[in-house]
Amino acid sequence: MLRDRITIYSRKLIKDERGWFVKIIDGKEKSLPQFSREIYVTSAKPGESKGGDYSLNTNKWFSIISGKALLVLEDIDSKEHIELKLEENNPQTVFVPRRIANKFYNLGEEDFILIAYADNIYDENDIIPYQIW
């Protein structure tokens, strides 16, 4: 039967005053290709931010799929930083290598929605808080 061939995974929706966060793929699901890792979606309300950290071992790819955001990136070693404006009307994916801090600021009048891919499974010891702005 078809029902026996599919798998439904319960997900945890995390909400706070800034918006919400949910992992779509956590990299541990059965039947994933061996190279698959984490995919998550998060939102931020107008005037709020997400991020403010870097990874020691994980590369990430980010895309704004709804709304507008300012992405601030800083190399934790050289302190060089850049700012990128991202919005749904000009879809882009930004690759952020490990040891580059990131923070997204909502620039719009509506929630932004961000989708991200991480090339490692979440490890709390790999995520380092980092003050940007």
The tens-digit pLDDT sequence of the chain (133 residues) is 878 887 778 899 999 999 999 999 888 888 777 778 999 999 999 999 999 999 999 999 999 999 999 999 999 999 999 999 999 998 899 999 999 999 999 999 999 999 999 999 899 999 999 998 7
CB-CB contact of 42 with 55 (8 Å): no
- Say what the alpha-carbon torsion angle 42, 109, 54, 40 is, to the nearest 10 degrees: 10
Cα–Cα distance between 21 and 109 in angstroms, integer?
A: 19
Residues in the chain: 133
